Structure 1
Amino acid sequence: MAGQPVTVTATVASVAPGAGTPTGTVTFTFGDGTNAASATLSGGIATVSHVFSGTSGSPFALTATYNGDTNFTASSGTDTQTVNKAATSTSVVSSPDPSTVGQPVTLTATVSGVAPGSGIPTGTVTFAFGDGTSPVTATLAGGIATVTHPYATRTGSPYTVTATYNGDTNFTTSSGTDTQTVNKAATTTAVVSAPDPSTVGQSVTLTATVAAVAPGAGTPTGTVTFTVGDGTSSATGTLSGGVATVTHAYATRTGSPFTITATYNGDTNFTASSGTDTQTLTKITTSTTVTSTPDPSVVGQSVTITATVASASGTPTGMVTFAFGDGTSSVAAALSGGIATVTHTYTTTTGSPFTITATYGGNDSYSGSSGTDTQTVSRAATTTSAVATPNPALVNDPVTVTATVAPVAPGTGTPTGTVTLAIPGRTPQTVTLAGGTASATFNPLPKGTYTVTANYNGSVNYAPSAGTTTLVVTTPGGAL
């Protein structure tokens, strides 16, 4: 067979009637294109050894030519040599073993001739990986063929790797096997949140990305469990392309920044892993508007002041402090449904229009804000009444005139200022109000009927008004 040493023997004998044992040399040609070889006769026999390196040309024509000597003539003889393919053995190894999912594995096949054959086989080796993927063929170099293969799954591990040598002109086919164990690939999990920071009630998108750790490769599948750090139930998202997403709305800022944990639960081919991120919650921005009614109002009239606190998300709670702009103390009221209401009575027009300020103090979830409005306060209308005492009076009686000034609803309070009291025939008297009344005494009047007038001259806060009464003056005995 190819590569096997072959012993070629030539026997040279004399032809009768000659006798004796020829001496000298014999030249051998092998029919395979290699150089001839010579050997010396010993006892009429010459021997050489020759290795046929291939089967091409088999059977080969062997020629032994005796070159003659002093006593014997030259002669030659032929034979045929059949050379068959040499048997082979194929071994295969894999590295690394074990490997992880997605990791490139180097498979090496070594093909050798089996004694008595020798030489280095050529040709190709076909590798089957045992995982259902297509075989791969590689060319031998120095009797060795190498391929790489990544196992995409553990299902079927350990896998049987088969390397089949396909033979060549001089060597028969053979095959060998090995096993390859494939373990789960390690993973990393990263999680991000957006928007960050967010506000209470705002929808936050949580995204987990799960990737294989080298030398592993591939795209993990399965589920990711998200915990959001606020005590609410966890949520599970399914991976698609290595990415899982859920949304969450935080109901409070208490605990911010929150720790978000995304835990990949693993699958057949990839190990579990987890990652964390933090989510910061800021207070929700608010706006405060304030209105007053009625506007304008009058001195002493009750004014309802309403503050509305609004936000882009949810309904703010807490307290609103109202400042009225007139130097009085501020008043706080609680929000209900985002609205707080107070009433206030302005006791003067001085400073009108007044700036009303409503200040929302905020709470754990909502930021503070304030708003303003103006309130115009006008003078309250008044009524003035006049009373003459005594009435009827005698011609010898001094007469006292009393004026009472009162606000007209919705105005309230006690008017101040002066009242001018007048009786025909007497000098008018201007008197200062005290507690809303003013009095003046007039000298006795002649007999008659008089119209007594009280004119309130108004003030900063109260409008003028006037009132009259009729005074009768009689003589003693009642005669008019």
Structure 2
Amino acid sequence: MNSLVIYCNILINMKHRIKLPGVGIIALLIFGTFSQVLPVPVFGDQPTETTTTVSSSLNPSTVGDSVSFTAAISPTPDGGTVQFQIDGVDFGTPVAVDSSGSATSGSTDTLTAGDHQIKATYSGTTNFAASIGTLTQTVNQLQTSTTVTLDPSKVNPDGQTTVTATITDTTTPTTTPPGTVTFNDGTPSAGGTFDSTSCNSSGSNQLVCAATYTAPNAAGSVTINADYVPSNSNFATSSGSSSLTVTPPPKITSFSPTSGTAGTIVTISGSDFTGATSVKFN
């Protein structure tokens, strides 16, 4: 703002000459022999208003993706810098605005799953005003799949089978999903029981969890379910299931002949022989 020095002659009683320095136009209101001096501001050139728009190199992204941010200043300023922030924390040092009015941050691949608030603050110059832009960066979880196997897949009532759940990171298969698995045989329960679950990471970057299941004391089909519970929010949950057949043991009602020599063919009558492979005589 330019300073103005204005000389005004004010007649107060004895015609004193007064020098009035100031930064504005001097307005004089004269009431009789009394003069009042009122300053009126004079404004010089003001900085040009700017807007800052923030964009992402990849939005939405997935955990582990490399992402950078660009701030575009409009109209194109004659300099200045941009300070980027992620969730309120400075991300790198201020970046100089180039001749096209843009500034780009460094890259990061450590953003966790969820939404992150990106802020770009333009510093401004003598000729261009400061401004702020924001962006919401969405980071998706790593997806997983869960498969269930039973060994054996057929048991008698109260029989046991080994239930194995294998969890795979389907987004980046080189990563082993962390966490554990919960097993169940339906809601409400079919009546079977699981012993404690043990988990370990396999050599193929998979999480493998296993438990022994004791079938209910009734024939039928039981659905065994496995729910993956990640210990890291960067991984998505997943579920899998497999069907267990519970068959009653064979029931022999008669056999003929009731005696004979070695090599004699014996006919056995009864029910529930499906799956039976041998007969033992006592």
TM-score by length of 1: 0.35
Q: 2: CA distance between counterparts of 1:421 and 1:295?
A: 29
2:192 matched to which residue of 1? 328
Counterpart CA distance in 1 for 2:171 and 2:124 is 40
- Counterpart of 1:234 in structure 2 is 92
The 1:224/1:340 distance shift into structure 2, 3 A limit, reads same
Q: How does 1:78-477 map to 2 (within 5 A)?
A: 187-193=50-56, 195-212=58-75, 218-221=76-79, 223-229=81-87, 231=89, 233-234=91-92, 236-240=94-98, 241-246=100-105, 247-253=107-113, 257-266=115-124, 270=128, 272-281=130-139, 283-284=140-141, 286-292=143-149, 294=151, 296=153, 298-299=155-156, 300=159, 302-313=161-172, 315-324=176-185, 327-329=191-193, 336=201, 338-345=206-213, 347=215, 350-352=219-221, 354-361=222-229, 364-375=233-244, 417=251, 463=276, 465-468=279-282
Q: Is 2:180–2:228's contact at 8 Å kept on the other side of the alignment?
A: yes
Structure 2 gaps of 5+ residues are 4-43, 260-265
> 1:295/1:332 Cα in 2 relative to 1: closer, same or farther (>3 Å)?
closer
SS at 2:208's partner residue?
strand
What is the match of residue 15 of structure 1? none
C-alpha change, 1:332 and 1:344, in structure 2 (3 Å) is closer
Measured in 2, the distance between the counterparts of 1:344 and 1:230 equals: 49
Q: Is the 8 A contact 2:197 2:209 kept in 1?
A: no
Match of 1:158 in 2: none
In the superposition, relative to structure 1, how do residues 329 and 258 fare at CA in structure 2: closer, same or farther (>3 Å)?
same
Q: CA deviation at 1:235?
A: 5.4
Residues 250 and 231 of structure 1: CA distance in aligned 2, closer, same or farther (over 3 Å): farther
**Aligned-partner Cα distance in 2 for 1:192–1:317:** 33
Query: For residue 323 of structure 1, what is the amino acid of its counterpart?
Result: N
Following the alignment from structure 2 to structure 1, what is the Cα–Cα distance between the partners of residues 164 and 258?
49
Deviation (angstroms), 1:229:
1.2
Shift of 1:364: 3.1
Q: 1:344 to 1:230 in 2, by over 3 A?
A: farther
Partner of 1:27: none
TM-score w.r.t. structure 2 length?
0.54
Once the two structures are TM-superposed, the CA of residue 290 in structure 1 deviates from its matched residue by 0.9
Query: How much does 1:349 deviate?
Result: 8.7
Partner of residue 4, structure 1: none
Give the conservation status (yes or no) of the 8 Å contact 1:346–1:377: no
Q: Which amino acid aligns with 1:340?
A: V
Kept after mapping to 2: 8 A contact 1:265/1:272: yes
Query: How far 1:293 moved relative to its partner?
Result: 5.1
How far apart, CA to CA, are the structure 2 residues paired with 1:287 and 1:293?
20
The 8 Å contact of residues 144 and 171 in structure 2, kept in 1 or not, is answered as: no
- Return the letter of the residue paired with 1:245: T
**CA–CA distance in 2 between the matches of 1:334 and 1:266?**
56
Stretch deviating more after TM superposition (310-319 or 265-274): 265-274
Cα distance in 2 between the residues matched to 1:329 and 1:231: 50
Distance 1:462 1:338, change over 3 A: closer
State the 1:285 CA deviation: 5.8
8 Å contact 2:84–2:91 — kept in the other structure? no
- Judged with a 3 Å threshold, the aligned counterparts in structure 2 of structure 1 residues 345 and 322 are, in CA distance, closer, same or farther, namely closer
- In the alignment, is the contact (CA less than 8 A) between 1:418 and 1:456 conserved in 2? yes
Structure 1 residues 329 and 234 mapped into 2: Cα distance closer, same or farther (>3 Å)?
Answer: farther
Query: 2 CA distance for matches of 1:261 and 1:341?
Result: 43
Change over 3 Å in CA distance of 1:332–1:243 after alignment to 2: farther
1:260, CA displacement in angstroms? 1.6
Deviations 1:171-207 (A, max 9, x none): xxxxxxxxxx988655432323465454433444422
Contact 2:219/2:247 (8 A) holds in 1: no
Residues 251 and 338 of structure 1: is their aligned pair in 2 closer, same or farther, counting only changes over 3 Å?
farther
Compute the RMSD of aligned alpha carbons. 4.7
- Which of 1 and 2 has greater Rg? 1
Letter of the 1:263 partner, please give it: T
**Displacement of 1:287:** 3.6
